[in-house]
Structure 1
Amino acid sequence: MQSPLLKAGPSPVKTPWWRGLLGTSGPLIGLILLFGVMSVATDSFLSVRNLLNVLDQMTVLGILAIGMTLVIVIGGIDLSVGAVLALSMMVMGWLANTHGWPFPLAILAALVVGGLCGLISGLLVTRLKLPAFIATLALLSVARGLANIITNGEQIVGYPEWFTNLAIVRHLGFLSATVALLILLALATAAFLRYRASGRSLYAIGGSPEVARLAGISVRRVSTWVYVASGVLAGLAGVVLAARLDSSQPSAGTGYELDAIAAVVIGGASLAGGVGSVGGTIIGVFIIGILRNGLNLIGVSPFIQQIIIGVVIAIAVSIDTLRRRER
């Protein structure tokens, strides 16, 4: 007689190995393959100078993408980060160069402006119940307009040498202060999401806001602070970009929000919320940075580059859709 335990239900369906690979190591494997392809495609890619250039170029995007990771984990989206970056850097330059504020105080003001922009987005989403897409799209327009109004669309140039050296001087032969800042931010945010209860609550909110609320999590308050954090990081990215360019430009950051979202999604996060990691996001940032750099070295037209980046994003979102269907 057959045991009842054997009749309890059908045997579990095994997930194909390649789908499991896409969910865990896919972005890293993609980065390794991309690195190999670019190394073969152009001799100058592997030069120390070019690799350091890639590292510098990805710093601003990396800082923005860390903030975007937090937003996407809770199931939100922030389309305003590029415009907030521009507004913050313009405020910093305007206060320092036009009004004579001490430069460290002007930097602090830039971060405060970024945080206020994030607070507005958070309140629009959590209090007025606007869709995050609409709320942050509206703030994008407002912030970009304010960035141009401050100096009537003109750039601000001429910053202290110690400030620009943050992005130029390399310690140990390769590590600038701005790159070190990105590394510290990534490690701190990853530790927050993994080891702090408040960090793990972001995944609960992204998985199901109602279940998170019933579990005692203040969904409104936490979600608002996530948008504030994204705004502060956008302001910090503006400061870093100003150090790299030795100027503040109202048009800076255009399109950065899309690259930040792409980096997070390519790194394995789900646009539906509840899934994502800082490590994956940094891999996504590297993929975009190496892809753009390699295509430039090969001589691919910027218009073709846009098409290629779009295809990569579409593939990443398709993989996310497959993963969610499996779950």
Structure 2
Amino acid sequence: MSASSSPQPKTGWLKIFLRYEMLLLVVLVAEWWLFYHFGTSTNRRGVVVGFGTVDRQFDILRHSCEIGLLALALTPIIITAGIDLSVGSLLGLCAILFGKLWHDGGLSIPVAAAITLVLGAVGGGLNAALITALRLPPLIVTLGTYSLFRGLAEAITRGAVTYTDFPASFLFIGQERWLGLPVQAWLFIFVAVIVWTLVQRTTFGRSFRAIGFSPEGSRYAGLPVERRVALVYVLAGLIVALAAIIYTARLGQAKADAGTGYELFAITAVVLGGTSIFGGTGSVTGTLLGVAAIAVLKSGLATLPIVIRTNAAEEIAGLLTGALLLLALMGSMLPKLLSGWRSRRKAS
């Protein structure tokens, strides 16, 4: 028997257990347990219920669907060392365009939705063209379109128009259940499977990591870097448009401030899930766990008695989300800092 044969299983199990996704799953379970034991809330009938009730879990699914879709859209972008700060604003613009096409344009819901998906892809295509054709930094480009998309939404509605009175058949998507789950949860699962398959199980998606790690090296290897980077931004616009339609169905209205601040939660979920903000590494599985962690945090905070008394659940959620983003960024820098420290120690 060789000397290396016996410890191999232990090493394998230990490696699996210490994977970042597994550690994040442990944190998620601990977070849920904390709110389950200490969180309560009041339902529509004024009855105090616990955090762990089925209705409460369904509410978490409903309210996290749009942010989850934005996080899925951002995962390939960040893996390629890009960023998109405009996803929240594009969601608001797509919601307004969808409402206008149906209400003012007289189009049916399916036709208005299809056109909205195309317009979302066009919005992502604008980011793609500026980034790949003009070689502008993604941060600057999407910061500009962040203001552009929100400004267009405000201009279309003049800051006052809100589209409402959508048919019940459309509201079913955002407010009812199908096969035991909220309807939008099935749409989210469908998109998650597609993005996961693209990023994790295809050669095409794996090239995103090579591009994020070294764009120049990828070009020398023959990869069409610009085309693939452009694709992830167009895909993001398409997914954001779907999120806008689901958002409108959930609230029953389309307004210009839809999606405000969603980009922060989505980016935090992606980075918290282990995707490096510098590109080259990341997984859709980690993103999904990051979305779940933030969704449980936001919903659970609103059920803690001390937070209820202060009436500051949204503010505290924003504060903790920002803190999580900073911690995740520092965590992504830790391997580089340790590597540099070891190199300096060996040199000395």
Question: TM-score of the superposition, structure 2-length normalised?
Answer: 0.85
Distance 1:225 1:172 in 2: 34
Letter matched to residue 163 of structure 1:
F
**CA shift for structure 1 position 306:** 2.1
Maintained 8 Å contact 1:84/1:117: yes
**CA shift for structure 1 position 206:** 0.7
Q: Partner of 1:186 in structure 2?
A: 192
Count of aligned pairs: 310
Distance 2:132 2:227 in 1: 8
Q: Partner of 1:147 in structure 2?
A: 153
Which of 36, 41, 45 in structure 2 is aligned with 1:39? Answer: 36
Q: CA RMSD in A?
A: 1.7
Letter matched to residue 110 of structure 2:
P
Are 1:234 and 2:228 an aligned pair?
Answer: no
**CA shift for structure 1 position 261:** 0.2
Secondary structure, aligned partner of 1:120: helix
Distance 1:24 1:298 in 2: 27
Q: Partner of 1:322 in structure 2?
A: 334
Which of 238, 246, 268 in structure 2 is aligned with 1:262? Answer: 268
Maintained 8 Å contact 1:75/1:206: yes
Distance 2:81 2:219 in 1: 15
Distance 1:324 1:185 in 2: 33
Q: Partner of 2:296 in structure 1?
A: 290
Secondary structure, aligned partner of 2:302: helix
Q: Partner of 2:315 in structure 1?
A: 303
Bigger drift between 46-55 and 148-157 goes to 148-157
Maintained 8 Å contact 1:23/1:323: no
State the identity %. 36
Distance 1:223 1:320 in 2: 22
Describe the shift of the 1:319–1:22 C-alpha distance in structure 2 as closer, same or farther (beyond 3 A).
farther
Describe how 1:150-161 pairs up with structure 2 within 5 A.
150-153=156-159, 154-161=161-168
- Structure 2 unpaired stretches of 5+: 1-13, 41-49, 340-348
Are 1:29 and 2:26 an aligned pair?
Answer: yes
- Structure 1 unpaired stretches of 5+: 1-16
Which of 40, 46, 54 in structure 2 is aligned with 1:48? Answer: 54
Secondary structure, aligned partner of 1:25: helix
Letter matched to residue 170 of structure 2:
F
Maintained 8 Å contact 2:272/2:325: yes
Distance 2:206 2:318 in 1: 35
Describe the shift of the 1:176–1:307 C-alpha distance in structure 2 as closer, same or farther (beyond 3 A).
closer
Are 1:129 and 2:126 an aligned pair?
Answer: no
Which of 165, 171, 178 in structure 2 is aligned with 1:171? Answer: 178
Distance 2:241 2:68 in 1: 13
Distance 2:193 2:315 in 1: 35
Which of 278, 283, 287 in structure 2 is aligned with 1:281? Answer: 287
Maintained 8 Å contact 2:92/2:150: yes
- CA-to-aligned-CA distance 1:217-253 (integer Å, 9 cap, x gap): 1001110111111111111110000010111010010
Distance 2:35 2:278 in 1: 32
Distance 1:127 1:326 in 2: 37
After TM superposition, the runs of 4+ consecutive aligned structure 1 residues lying more than 6 A away are none
Q: Partner of 1:312 in structure 2?
A: 324
Maintained 8 Å contact 1:22/1:319: no
Q: Partner of 1:71 in structure 2?
A: 77
Distance 1:224 1:187 in 2: 21
**CA shift for structure 1 position 323:** 3.3
